[in-house]
Structures are given as C-alpha cells and as structure tokens.
C-alpha cells in the first residue's frame, strides 16, 4: 500500500491509497472515477508502448534509434519548430521542453495560453488575490462557482472545499454558502442546500451581471426591480451581500468565464469587481482560483515565468528569448511553423477545425502515453511513461501549490519519462 | 432553428477517457451528442431515433440527441471533443468555445464518424 497524489486532474488529491505487487495495480482507494481511470490507463489497450514512424500513410513500430533519428531530422530540417502541450507532464519535463525550444529556435506554448493563462495575463494589469485549497478548507465561508462545472471537471473539489471541516470552520458545510453562477443547470447545482444561491444566468450575460454588481458596490440599491440577466433582484442582493460580507470568500473561475477578450473583457471586469469588494471589505476578502483541468497546467505558467519571465508564448531566435505577442492560435493560423512537437496533449481534438487542418499540413511529432486524434495523424509517435504513477516529478495544483508526484510501478518496456525523452531529443540534435 | 452552442466538460462524455480507455465505437457513442431543453426537442419535432445536424460557417456535424431540463431554451450543449470543434472558431488569437451561433435541424443521416473527421482534417 502506498499513498500517492492522483494526476487525474489539477486537484492532485494526495490522499489516494494504491495497492500494487510491483507489476500491476491491484486496488485504488479514495480516487474519483476520473482518478481511477487515470490508473486504468496503465494497462489500457490504447497505451502506446513502442515508438512509431509513419510509412506510406500508416504508423509502423520502429526502434528508438530510428525514431529519434527521424525526429531530429524533421526538427533540424524545419525552420520554425512549434512545441505545444506540456500541461500533462511534470515541471521537470516542462523545463526540458523550454530547453528544446531554445536549442532549436522554436516557439513553445502550453494549453494554459488558451485557458487559465489568459487570467494571469489580464491580472498583470489588475493584480489578483489568490488562495489555497488548505486556506479554503480552514477558513472559507463562501464558495462561488462561476462558469465552472466543478462536479464534473474536478470531481472531488466540492467534497474537499465544501463538505470538509476546517480549523476555523468546525461546522463545515453548515457554515459555508455555495453560490453557482451558470447558464446551464450543471451537476454542481445538485449539492445546493437551502442557504445556497443558484443563479441560472441567461447565456452570455455574465458581463451585465458583473457591471451591475460593480455599480451596486458603489451605490447601494442600484439594481432595477426586474433584476438583471434573467436573475431575480432579491437573489442579486443576496449575492452582493454574501460577497461583501464574507470573511473568506473564493470564486472559482471556469471556462464559462474565459471568453475571448475581443468579445468583452469579462475576466478583467471580474478581477476589478473582486478588487472593489476587497477595498470596501473591512473584515474579510474574496480570492480567486482558476479551474484549469490538466494536472499540471499551472506548472507551465510557473516554469515559464521563473525561467523566462513570461508565462507562455515563448519564441527563441539565435537561442535567445525574443519578444512576441504570438500564441499557439496565431502561430498555427499564420502557418508560422515548419513542424510541431506535441507533448501530452491532443490539439487535433481540442482546436477548431481550421487550426487542426493547418497543423496537419506540417510534420507532427507526438510525445504521449496514449492514442489520440493527434497520434492518428502524426508522423512520429514517441511513447512516454505515465507521470505520477511510473515516474516522479513536480506539479502545481490548481491553487498554485507545488506537489511532489510519486511512483508506484516501473514503466513497461523501459519507456522513458517525458523529461528523459526530451533530453534524448536535445542530445540527438546537438550531436547530429 | 438557430441556437447557441456551448461546449462543456462532462464526466459521462469525456474525450480524455474515451481516447485513453475506449475505442472508435465508444468515442462515437459518447462524444457526438447534442443536449437540448425538452421544449426545443419538441420545437424541432425530434424523436429519439433521429439525429441532429448542427452546422455553422465553420463546419457541419451530425450528432445524437439527449434532453435535459437544465439546459436553457435556445442553447445546445456539446461535450468538449473533436466533434464540437468542427463548429468552434477563433478570433484575435483566442478560441471561442462558448456562445457559438449554430443552425440545428433534425436528421436521419448517420452520426458523423471519427474517421470522417480525421480524413477531412488530413485531406485539407
Ligand atoms: S478529483 Fe482529480 S485529482 Fe482528485 S481523485 Fe479525482 S481525478 Fe484524481
């Protein structure tokens, strides 16, 4: 029996008990369905166990030597390699990814740049008040899920933050108020009690709501009798009362809030609202947590910031970091790349069709441990060990706390970790 | 009928799980699905044996149908997946995964297969 953190999502639950005979996992205790499935990946038939190179349109198994040779050949013959993903790998692998980008004068970005990284970029102007899961458990009296389907995307989150008893919240759930703001009655609505506030807002009306709340912060009783965004005036008054009187409130920001800036500065205005409330507040404060899904999405932001002073969109030229406003979307849209190196993610599934089509026009090298839409069109597939089960490392939890990942089994067929694999690619490129 | 498409992560329709543990059949069972309010289901004259053609200027897909009272009228929900991403787009370097205008119609045609989508990406 061993207690290890789960890498099924960004909550990195560190209370999972795993029983193993050293060859197989016999039992997983304490994980949610999503976490249990992370462990099931070990023996899945979709697991990639051998490197593969595409020949005559079909991926064929090959030796590591041939795969690394071909990888180096593609990268060296490409003028602008694009490196993308890195949110499902350890910080150590993320660091190697940045080193590889530097060696090959490439561009590197993580999934965060189309997700929570947007909040960090906006917060450069406004500032941001963050908190930790431990502080929420011990002190929070108000939890707001805004456009965040916590029950389905981070299944054990509510269990930890809402139902747990804390040092200063000994009565646990009874003293915590849950507010959900979402146009869809998502699964999280099902845990609501009588003191909670369910706000099923009209689609795309979040900005109106934020503006009314900001106004109400300045001038009390400014909410019109019809309410706003399909929400009742009394519910809105209860919302503002809870936000302004919470001792320790936290707003979880989900994908529903991460709208394009070209549509509206929704995140910026939300950050301003939180600042306004905190300035007015005399006894407490409201903090924010971003709900990135991948287990180490926050890690790339930290690694990139600490090594390059920028949390994503890193362009190297003559082995030096240069200024750019590009992100993964603009690089692909402008076809400003010669090949792509995709690490631990599936852009062909999660990017819009027109971007997938452009990505597919250039050679694709995938580093991953399982099949995906991207591996199905890749030119080279390099298998890596499963981080947090077969290889250790560091990952940043969604509350920006670093967690040490452990191992319970050795990887099959001596498959390297993402970090080792990226090191091998760098060595091969440097030697050839 | 014009509707608003929102993509969402859902535990029962999870692309990461299907790619890790499932096969093409389970991908096609769980991911190409449109979830509608029962009132919209009626408005579109749908029956359980029919499918939905969801289209906009970005693309077109045929998906299965599910009803859910929690979905607001005028909205169609789809799990985050390669199917939904045939309809998403981007603007000023940001991807638009929510509030996408789509046209939704009943269809007797089969659900768009994974291979059809992969081939359309490869053949571009
Ligand atoms: S909530 Fe996330 S980290 Fe916790 S057990 Fe489930 S998948 Fe694993």
Dump pLDDT digits (tens) for A184-238.
888 888 888 888 999 999 988 999 999 999 988 777 777 778 888 889 888 898 9
Judged against a pLDDT cut of 90, whether residue B92 lies above it is answered with no
List pLDDT tens digits, range B2-19: 999 999 888 777 777 777
Q: Kindly state the percentage of chain A with pLDDT values over 70.
A: 98
Q: Is there a single domain that holds both residue A145 and residue A253?
A: yes
Q: For residue B122, which residues of chain A lie inside 8 Å, CB to CB?
A: 360, 377
pLDDT in tens, B25-45: 888 888 999 999 999 999 999
Domain parsing of chain B, residue ranges: 2-122
Cβ within 8 Å, pair B70-A46:
no
Q: Are A122 and A269 part of one and the same domain? A: yes
Residues A274 and A160 both lie in one domain? yes
Pick from A290, A318, A352: which residue ends a domain?
A290
The Å distance, Cα A157 to ligand 1 centre, comes to 8
Among candidate residues A290, A307, A335, the one where a domain is terminated: A290
Residue A8 in contact with ligand 1 by CB distance below 6 A: yes
Q: What DSSP assignment string belongs to A8-56?
A: SSTT--S-EEEEE-SSSEEEEES--HHHHHHHHGGG-TTB--S-EEEET
What is the predicted pLDDT for the residue at B15?
77
Residue A217 lies in a domain: yes
Count of CB atoms situated within 10 Å of the CB of A15: 13
Q: Whose CA is nearest to atom 8 of ligand 1?
A: A35
- A421, A315: one domain: yes
Measured between CA atoms, the residue of chain A closest to residue B116 is A373
pLDDT of residue A116: 86
User: What is the number of domains present in chain A?
Assistant: 2
Query: For position A280, what pLDDT does the model report?
Result: 86
CB contact at 8 A, A179 and A145:
yes
Q: Does A88 have pLDDT greater than 80? A: yes
Is A397 part of the contact surface with chain B (CB cutoff 8 Å)?
Answer: no
How far is it, in rounded angstroms, from Cα A327 to Cα A333? 10
Residue A3 domain-assigned (yes or no)? no
Residue A33 lies in a domain: no
The average pLDDT across A30-42 equals 92
How would residue A107 be classed by pLDDT, with cut points 50, 70 and 90? Answer: very high
Task: State pLDDT tens for residues A386-421.
Answer: 999 999 999 999 999 999 999 999 999 889 999 999
A38 within some domain: no
Same structural domain, A412 and A280: no
What phi, psi does A268 have (nearest 5°)? -60, -45
Count A/B contacts: CB-CB distance under 8 Å: 147
pLDDT level of residue A263 (50, 70, 90 thresholds):
low
Half-sphere exposure of A18 (CA within 13 A, CB side): 27
Domain B2-122, second-level architecture: Beta Barrel (2.40)
A35 lines ligand 1 (CB under 6 A): yes
Q: What is the pLDDT of residue A292?
A: 86
Domain with A251 in it: 117-290
Q: Do B98 and A372 touch (CB under 8 A)?
A: no
CB-ligand 1 contact for A331 (6 Å cutoff): no
| Distance set, CA A49 to CA A6, A21, A46, A381 (Å) | 22, 21, 9, 10
- Say if ligand 1 is within 6 A of residue A344 CB: no
Q: Choose between A149 and A421: higher pLDDT.
A: A421
pTM higher than 0.90, yes or no?
Answer: yes
**Span A133-157, mean pLDDT?**
93
- C-beta pairs of A323-330 under 8 Å, 24+ apart in sequence: A324/A107, A326/A107, A326/B93, A327/A109, A327/A113, A327/A114, A327/B93, A328/A82, A328/A84, A328/A109, A328/A113, A328/A114, A329/A114, A329/A355, A329/B90, A329/B93, A329/B94, A329/B95, A330/B93
| Chain A residues within 8 A of B19 when measuring between CB atoms | 46, 346, 349, 370-373
Residues A137 and A283 in one domain: yes
Mean pLDDT, rounded, for A58-76: 96
- Tell me, yes or no, whether A86 and A139 share the same domain: no
Please state the length of chain B. Answer: 124
The per-residue pLDDT for A410 is 93
Q: Is A36 in the pocket of ligand 1 (CB under 6 A)?
A: no
């Amino acid at each position: 029996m061993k207690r290890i953190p789960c890498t099924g999502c960004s909550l990195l639950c560190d209370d999972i008990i795993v029983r193993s005979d050293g060859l197989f996992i016999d039992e997983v205790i304490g994980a949610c369905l999503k976490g249990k499935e992370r462990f099931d990946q070990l023996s899945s038939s979709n697991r990639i166990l051998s490197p593969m190179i595409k020949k005559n349109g079909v991926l064929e198994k090959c030796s590591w030597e041939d795969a690394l040779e071909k990888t180096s050949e593609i990268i060296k013959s490409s003028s602008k390699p694009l490196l993308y993903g890195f949110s499902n790998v350890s910080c150590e692998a993320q660091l190697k990814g940045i080193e590889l980008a530097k060696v090959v004068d490439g561009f590197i970005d993580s999934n965060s740049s189309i997700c929570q990284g947007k909040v960090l970029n906006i917060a450069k102007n406004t500032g941001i008040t963050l908190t930790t899961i431990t502080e929420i458990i011990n002190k929070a009296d108000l939890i707001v899920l805004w456009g965040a389907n916590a029950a389905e995307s981070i299944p054990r989150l509510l269990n930890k933050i809402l139902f747990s008893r804390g040092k200063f919240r000994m009565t646990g759930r009874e003293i915590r108020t849950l507010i959900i703001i979402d146009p869809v009655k998502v699964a999280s609505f099902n845990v609501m009690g009588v003191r909670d506030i369910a706000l099923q807002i009209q689609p795309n009306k979040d900005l109106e709501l934020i503006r009314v709340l900001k106004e109400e912060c300045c001038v009390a009783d400014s909410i019109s009798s019809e309410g706003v965004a399909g929400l009742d005036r009394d519910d809105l008054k209860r919302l503002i009362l809870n936000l302004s009187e919470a001792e320790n409130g936290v707003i979880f920001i989900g994908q529903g809030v991460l709208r394009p800036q070209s549509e509206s500065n929704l995140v910026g205005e939300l950050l301003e609202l939180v600042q306004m409330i905190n300035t007015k507040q005399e006894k407490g404060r409201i903090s924010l947590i971003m709900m990135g899904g991948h287990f180490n999405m926050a890690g790339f932001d930290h690694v990139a910031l600490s090594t390059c002073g920028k949390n994503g969109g890193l362009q190297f030229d003559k082995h030096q970091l240069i200024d750019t406003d590009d992100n993964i979307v603009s690089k692909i849209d402008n076809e400003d790349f010669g090949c792509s190196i995709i690490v631990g993610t599936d852009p062909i599934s999660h990017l819009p069709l027109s971007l997938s089509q452009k990505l597919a026009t250039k050679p694709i090298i995938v580093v991953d441990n399982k099949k995906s839409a991207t591996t199905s069109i890749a030119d080279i597939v390099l298998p890596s060990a499963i981080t947090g089960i077969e290889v250790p490392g560091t990952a940043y939890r969604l509350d920006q706390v670093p967690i040490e990942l452990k191992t319970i089994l050795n990887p099959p067929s001596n498959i390297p970790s993402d970090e080792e694999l990226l090191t091998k690619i760098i060595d091969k490129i440097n030697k050839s | 009928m014009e509707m608003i498409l929102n993509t969402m992560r859902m535990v029962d329709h999870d692309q990461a799980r299907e790619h890790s543990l499932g096969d093409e059949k389970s991908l096609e069972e769980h991911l190409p699905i449109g979830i509608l309010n029962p009132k919209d289901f009626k408005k579109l004259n749908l029956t359980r044996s029919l499918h939905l053609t969801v289209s906009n200027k970005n693309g077109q897909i045929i998906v299965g149908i599910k009803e859910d009272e929690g979905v607001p009228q005028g909205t169609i929900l789809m799990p985050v997946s390669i199917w939904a991403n045939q309809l998403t787009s981007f603007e000023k370097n940001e991807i638009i995964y929510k509030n996408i205008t789509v046209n939704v119609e009943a269809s007797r045609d089969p659900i768009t297969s994974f291979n059809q989508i992969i081939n359309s990406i490869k053949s571009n």
